[in-house]
Structure 1
Amino acid sequence: MSTLIRPPPIDPAQSAIENTLELTQLSDIDPDLFTNRRPLWHPPGARGIYGGAAIAQTLSAAQKTVEPEFTVHSMHCYFVLAGNSEIPIIYHVERVRSGKSFATRTVQARQRGKVIFTTTISFVRQHSAGDKVLEHAVEMPPVPAPVEGKDDLDYGGAATGPFQSQRIEILNNDSPHPHTKKTRQWIKARGTISPAGGHEAHLAALAYMSDSYFIGTIARVHKLWRYAAVRKTKSKSSIDEDVLKKLLAMEDEDLKRVKFLDSHDLERIRKWKNGEREEPKEPKQEIGMMVSLDHTIYFHDPRNFRADEWMFTEMETPWSGDGRGLVFQKLFTKDGRLIATCVQEGVVRLRQDTDTAKSKL
């Protein structure tokens, strides 16, 4: 059973992302216990549930335990174990501190008694800094505006997710130096977030979307193939191979709109579709494992943006090595205001030549 309590009907007054992130408070057991109200998404090829769901739902749970004049300004998260989409998640909020200006909460997400995700979240009282404040912010770079009515496609060629995205070409994509490249996209929650959701719903939606192809930036700037090849073996096909089969069956116009494909991915798929599958003399490097380890969000203007309006995100990676990689992300409103900065480190391992090189987390 993927939820502890049978999910209620979809609320048409709420946006898709609000319905996705709904929590049930287990007040009869403990007022600081919550659980997911609806099944959680397990992306094809991923080890577990979409990480953005755990980030957003822990934030939602913590927001329900602070006074209304307090607003989140930062959260520091660790992915401990892969979440199972077939098992309910229990979120336990610990009220670490409730001060005059700041409040601190930790939230643990548990399945089968084990912690799968943990975060520490800090809240600040609105206008506690006084009338005189220091201000500065980086400017949004000039980029093509989003196109209304256009949406990149999810896996399988259908725009069904709770948020929309439109990718922009990678900046400096022809550079031989991965750290000089920047991956960019427009994102927004699908539909309109309800007034009843308040600023908390917009913050949770931003947290959910902030994990979209985050650590995958490293594979993109290195132009690495992230999906297993269809090989003639007796072993069971992986989820990645199933995804690749779907891609090979799609028309070129549909392929261009698939969110997770870049120009070099499209070229390789076209060659495969044309029967050009000869292995090169020196095999290309491929991603063998890519898993998020931690995720940090700094919210800069938490009550003055709408997550259901287009937001611009820019990601860059200053370093990768020793099987890990680091990515920075900046999020702006459409009119250029910086509203959040995110940092993520993850496991980024190349596919090895032998099974002996594989290891478990």
Structure 2
Amino acid sequence: MDPRKAPGQRINTAEMRGSTLLEPPPFDPAKSAIENHLEVTEVEDLGRNVFTNTRPQWHPAGGRGVYGGAVLALCLSAAYRTVPEGFFVNSCHCYFLDAASAEIPLLLHVENLRDGRSFATRTVQARQRGSCVFTTTVSFARRGSGVRGGPGNVIEHAAVMPTPEQLGGAASPPEEWEDEPALLRSFPVQTSPLHLLNGADADPHKRRVCHWIRSRDRISDEGGHVAHIAALGNLSDSYFIETVTRVHGLWRMMFAPQDLPTLPEDLREYVWAMHLQESDPEKKKEETEGDDVKKAMDRDLDPAKWIGRPEVGMMVSLDHSIYFHNPLKVKADEWMLYEMDSPWTGDGRGLVTGRIWAKDGTLLATCVQEGTVRLKAKPAGMNEAAKL
């Protein structure tokens, strides 16, 4: 028996004010929560290859609109519904054009650009009120089409997953892991605390952020490969552009650092685990229980540590690309390591790259995203130019 929670756990709908074009069907307990959430329905009355979100979508607190990873995943699912059998996604290149409203249905228009012998290409536009809010071009490769001259006649290499020693406190959680912050336990995915690696390095581009991700419950056989790919697409956008703020040590919360001591304990736990943890993972290995963890949390949540740091004024994803290296090996209901870094930031934008490995070390995907990352304007009294 699966030691984790059985399929059928519902998504937290407290902040899901969304609507759908058609009456949503009952929650399907035979499928995982993430499958239910990312299901699409074809709307033949509106034309060929037009789909819509089957269920309401989540609007994160403080976000401009629907969670971008969900829109990406819905578009991937819709595109998959239009390709010939035997083709599997190898890449998608997306642009977030406008915030998607959680109160309006998404219409997903899939256009068939090409069906070749080795590759098939689709574009998907997510539309609301007649305007495109998100667009992606998705490429599919026919299985085995890249090998010529027999098995083994192919060039291969892949980046190696960091070792447990290199990950320190960010090593893989156990299968029965239930130590996540209480505020996240109703969500359809599980995310381990995010660890900043090489945080003491003077160069931001050498710092890395790592965490483990997976679907909270088992993805059904009926959902199969497409459900696993959609779930990975959904997870790939989680905390991604925030990497820029982490490697620069920016204050990025919606409240002031002075408010940290007054937060409810469950919110403090969440803020530390998912946003403000800067403790060295090597030290974290010795801080695994009781008072030691509390000391680490108190150290990272000390207002004096954050007061005076530059504050994020705006952080919005602009684009997102995923290269699927081993799509048939993606098992999104098993732990996957997500390692993220930022090779460049400037002119109010930041670039982040990420690699996703299966627990056995298989490199599953590489992700790239650029986003707007702007600091809050300094008060006139703090602006040196203003003083002059």
Q: What is the correspondence of 1:337-352 to structure 2 with a 5 Å cutoff? A: 337-352=362-377
Query: Residue in 2 aligned with 1:329?
Result: 354
CA distance 1:311–1:251, shift in 2 (3 Å): closer
Normalized against structure 2, the TM-score is what?
A: 0.81
Over the aligned positions, Cα root-mean-square deviation in angstroms equals 2.6
- Please say if 1:82 is aligned against 2:99: yes
- Please say if 1:263 is aligned against 2:278: yes
- Cα distance in 2 for residues equivalent to 1:23 and 1:128: 29
Q: What is the correspondence of 1:44-123 to structure 2 with a 5 Å cutoff? A: 44-123=61-140
- Please say if 1:145 is aligned against 2:172: yes
The one of 179, 199, 204 aligned to 1:178: 204
SS at 1:259's partner residue?
helix
SS at 1:303's partner residue?
helix
> Do the aligned residues in 1 keep the contact of 2:40 with 2:52 (CA within 8 Å)?
yes
- Cα distance in 2 for residues equivalent to 1:151 and 1:324: 36
Residue type of the alignment partner of 1:149:
E
* Shift of residue 245, structure 1, vs aligned partner: 8.1
* Shift of residue 162, structure 1, vs aligned partner: 1.3
CA distance 1:64–1:247, shift in 2 (3 Å): farther
- Cα distance in 2 for residues equivalent to 1:119 and 1:189: 23
Of residues 130-139 and 305-314 in structure 1, the stretch that sits farther from structure 2 once superposed is 130-139
Structure 1 regions of 5+ residues with no counterpart? 232-240, 356-361
* Shift of residue 253, structure 1, vs aligned partner: 7.7
* Shift of residue 343, structure 1, vs aligned partner: 0.2
CA distance 1:250–1:269, shift in 2 (3 Å): farther
- Cα distance in 2 for residues equivalent to 1:294 and 1:225: 23
Q: What is the correspondence of 1:1-361 to structure 2 with a 5 Å cutoff? A: 2-130=19-147, 131=150, 132-143=153-164, 144-151=171-178, 153=180, 157-167=183-193, 169-229=195-255, 248-250=263-265, 254-255=269-270, 258-263=273-278, 270-271=301-302, 283-353=308-378
Query: Residue in 1 aligned with 2:383?
Result: none
Instruction: Note the alpha carbon deviations across 1:30-57, whole angstroms, 9 max, x for none.
Output: 2310010111111111111111011101
Instruction: Note the alpha carbon deviations across 1:52-73, whole angstroms, 9 max, x for none.
Output: 0111011000000001211110
> Do the aligned residues in 2 keep the contact of 1:61 with 1:91 (CA within 8 Å)?
yes
CA distance 1:28–1:327, shift in 2 (3 Å): same
CA distance 1:3–1:245, shift in 2 (3 Å): farther
Query: Residue in 2 aligned with 1:234?
Result: none
Residue type of the alignment partner of 1:259:
M
* Shift of residue 197, structure 1, vs aligned partner: 1.1
Residue type of the alignment partner of 1:52:
G
* Shift of residue 198, structure 1, vs aligned partner: 1.8
Higher helix share: 2
Structure 2 regions of 5+ residues with no counterpart? 1-17, 165-170, 280-295, 381-388
SS at 1:7's partner residue?
coil
> Do the aligned residues in 2 keep the contact of 1:162 with 1:189 (CA within 8 Å)?
yes
CA distance 1:337–1:348, shift in 2 (3 Å): same
> Do the aligned residues in 2 keep the contact of 1:151 with 1:165 (CA within 8 Å)?
no
Normalized against structure 1, the TM-score is what?
A: 0.87
- Cα distance in 2 for residues equivalent to 1:247 and 1:38: 36
Query: Residue in 2 aligned with 1:236?
Result: none
- Cα distance in 1 for residues equivalent to 2:180 and 2:63: 18
Instruction: Note the alpha carbon deviations across 1:163-219, whole angstroms, 9 max, x for none.
Output: 101135321011221111010011011111111112111111110100010000011
Aligned residues: 337
> Do the aligned residues in 1 keep the contact of 2:108 with 2:124 (CA within 8 Å)?
yes
- Cα distance in 1 for residues equivalent to 2:320 and 2:115: 24
Instruction: Note the alpha carbon deviations across 1:310-335, whole angstroms, 9 max, x for none.
Output: 10110010000000000010000001
Of residues 80-89 and 249-258 in structure 1, the stretch that sits farther from structure 2 once superposed is 249-258
